[in-house]
Structure 1
Amino acid sequence: MSWPEGIEARPIDKADAEAWAELLAAREKVDQEGENYGADDLIEELDDPHLDAAHDTIGLWADGRMVAYGKVQATVTVVDVDRVRTEGTVHPEWRRRGLGTTLMRWLIRRAGEVHTAKHPDAAGEVTSGTISTNAGADRLLRNFGFEETRYFFDMKRPLDQPVPEVALADGFRLEAFDPSIDEALRLTHNEVFRDHWGSTPRDAESWKVWNTGARSFRGGSSYVVLDGETIAAYVLGYEWDADTEVTGIRELYIGQVGTRRAYRGRGLARAALAKVLAEAVQAGYQRSGLGVDADNPTGALGLYESLGYSVHGKWVTYRLPL
């Protein structure tokens, strides 16, 4: 790629984590996406066994600081379409200089290379997401031919409001997460999300990195509903220290909620989530958050609204066919 004069481009490694975190903090002040990252969070991302950081990340540097970054995330398996996810940003002080356009060209090119190398026989597309209020990102993506394809709601619930008591159906029991059920939980999650847009099965390594082995995972704030020894439903909670540091609010983020198909319609996820919220209040959390697909086939939006969550923002996923 031909980068603007004065720009050094190189892959991101763990030694760059502090500079990367500073770039993301500068973005958040302007774009107000509600996401904050510490250096340790970013190092954890680089530990993803399926991320080839040497080829699939890029940091752009000027005057000794990171002024932009890009990242391409390949899928391990393909369900319907090989969706190669991309992300990136330009420091607010460096915007409107053509840097974002050049970075997007790099992301699209690299996504095409990844698709050709990993899943050449499947239909492929580049995807990218942004908060709906980011007009600049929307304009950039549309200029490259991207189109809106999916919408997600960011939902919040203050925990100073009473949590409703929800009785668990007879024959089931609620238990806090225990590492001994981790593999069964992974397989349950893969089954539950088999019909969700954009979801692909998690293998054991990526499950550890992004889910129950993540620094943000809170096992004590995660519950499963059991039918005998079978996991029927589950709710997994997370907490990001960087968010608390910036906002001053302890938020328990609900990362995954699911019910096996054979157990749907019995209110199991509702009972588990109500339990998690009640425990969060006792643990000193001030708020709960979660994200939901606007077209979720299980009616999750209605479930969350019934438990006091409301829409706080909207995210848009864009696609560009390869």
Structure 2
Amino acid sequence: MNLPEGIQSRPLTLDDAAEMAVLVAAKAQADRDGENFSAEDLAEELRRPGLDLERDTISLWDGDRLVGYGLARVSQTVVDVDRVQTDGAVHPDRRGRGLGTELVQWLIKRAGELHTATHPEAPGVVGAGAVVTNTGATELLTGFGFEPVRYYFDMHRPLDQPVPDVAVADGLRLVTFDPAYTKELLDAHNESFSDHWGFTPRSLEAFQARVVNSRAFRGGQSYYVLDGDTIATYVNCFEYEAVAEATGVRELYVGQVGTRRAYRGRGLARAALAKVLAEAAQAGYQRAGLGVDADNPTGALGLYEKLGFTTHQKFVNYQLAIADGVVHS
């Protein structure tokens, strides 16, 4: 890497989570992206299956201060395209000095290596995301040839507003999470999202790490519509305590909403979400939040708007093509 004088690079380690949290908090304030995570949240992210810290991450240091980082994640499975997802950040007070350029070059190279090593038989792309308020990231990515392919809305809903009382159909019932549901919940998730852009089925290990065993998961605030032992619809909820620390607002984040195909068109997601919102208000949450694909094929955006959610921020997913391990713009 061609780094400015005084900047050193090395892979990330679990011990870096506290410094990452400082950088992420500065980024959230500068970019107004709402992405507030604690050191414990970030350490959990670094421990998730499939991420080789030594080979798939990079960090930039000015002495003992973290000023930038990047990581690349390979897909466990491929449906149509091998999307190697990347993430990275530069501290706001160090932007415009070439650190972002060095990070993106490193991530592109590593993404090509991961694609060649894991899924060379499939078309490959490097994926990256940016909030629209970070114009520097947009210019950096498009300068490397990345193209926008998907748009996502971050939505909020105050919980002091009335919540509609929506009943489920006879024979179905609303329940909260129980660990015994984990495998059925995974099956429902993989089926429900199988027609969504960019989705690849999750393994049980990855699903447990990212969802039900996550420190932010709130099973008591997550609701499912059951048809016998089958999960027809599910709403998984999370609480990131760093959000309340940064904003003073206690938020329940709706991480995943899904309905199996055979149960769509019956208002089950609306009923489950209405229950989530009502119970969250009773539990002392002040706001609900969620993210949605602007082109979600199930009409999720319209559902959320009817329930009182409004767009707070916008994000763009970019990608760059890989062929034979080489990235092509």
Fold match (TM-score > 0.5): yes
Instruction: Identify the residue that residue 280 of structure 2 maps to in structure 1.
Output: 280
Q: CA deviation at 1:2?
A: 2.8
Instruction: Identify the residue that residue 61 of structure 1 maps to in structure 2.
Output: 61
Instruction: Identify the residue that residue 252 of structure 1 maps to in structure 2.
Output: 252
Identity %: 61
Instruction: Identify the residue that residue 50 of structure 1 maps to in structure 2.
Output: 50
Q: CA deviation at 1:87?
A: 1.0
Aligned pairs (5 A) from 1:264-275? 264-275=264-275
* In structure 1, C-alpha distance between the alignment counterparts of 2:53 and 2:256, rounded to whole Å: 26
* In structure 2, C-alpha distance between the alignment counterparts of 1:156 and 1:28, rounded to whole Å: 16
Q: CA deviation at 1:15?
A: 0.9
Q: CA deviation at 1:4?
A: 2.3
* In structure 2, C-alpha distance between the alignment counterparts of 1:12 and 1:101, rounded to whole Å: 18
Instruction: Identify the residue that residue 157 of structure 1 maps to in structure 2.
Output: 157
Give the residue type in structure 1 aligned to 2:300: A
Aligned pairs (5 A) from 1:291-310? 291-310=291-310
* In structure 2, C-alpha distance between the alignment counterparts of 1:251 and 1:18, rounded to whole Å: 22
* In structure 1, C-alpha distance between the alignment counterparts of 2:87 and 2:35, rounded to whole Å: 14
Aligned pairs (5 A) from 1:178-257? 178-257=178-257
* In structure 1, C-alpha distance between the alignment counterparts of 2:229 and 2:20, rounded to whole Å: 43
Calculate the TM-score normalised by the size of structure 2.
0.96
Instruction: Identify the residue that residue 110 of structure 1 maps to in structure 2.
Output: 110
Q: Report SS of the residue matched to 2:201.
A: coil
* In structure 2, C-alpha distance between the alignment counterparts of 1:181 and 1:98, rounded to whole Å: 48
User: After superposition, what is the alpha-carbon deviation per residue over 1:200-233, rounded to whole angstroms, capped at 9, x for unaligned?
Assistant: 1111111111111100000000011011111111
Q: CA deviation at 1:49?
A: 1.4
Q: CA deviation at 1:260?
A: 0.4
* In structure 1, C-alpha distance between the alignment counterparts of 2:2 and 2:157, rounded to whole Å: 46
Give the residue type in structure 2 aligned to 1:105: Q
Q: Report SS of the residue matched to 2:125.
A: strand
User: After superposition, what is the alpha-carbon deviation per residue over 1:275-308, rounded to whole angstroms, capped at 9, x for unaligned?
Assistant: 0111001100000000010010000011111111
**Unpaired segments ≥5 residues, structure 1:** none
- What is the number of residues matched between the two proteins? 322
Q: CA deviation at 1:84?
A: 0.6
**Unpaired segments ≥5 residues, structure 2:** 323-329
Q: Report SS of the residue matched to 1:265.
A: coil
Calculate the TM-score normalised by the size of structure 1.
0.99
User: After superposition, what is the alpha-carbon deviation per residue over 1:2-45, rounded to whole angstroms, capped at 9, x for unaligned?
Assistant: 32221111111111111111111111121111011111011101
Q: Report SS of the residue matched to 2:40.
A: helix
Q: Report SS of the residue matched to 1:298.
A: coil
Give the residue type in structure 1 aligned to 2:3: W
User: After superposition, what is the alpha-carbon deviation per residue over 1:137-178, rounded to whole angstroms, capped at 9, x for unaligned?
Assistant: 110001100111000111100000001111111221111111
Q: Report SS of the residue matched to 1:313.
A: strand
Does residue 80 (structure 1) correspond to residue 66 (structure 2)? The answer is no
* In structure 1, C-alpha distance between the alignment counterparts of 2:45 and 2:76, rounded to whole Å: 16
C-alpha RMSD of matched pairs (Å): 0.8
* In structure 1, C-alpha distance between the alignment counterparts of 2:27 and 2:268, rounded to whole Å: 39
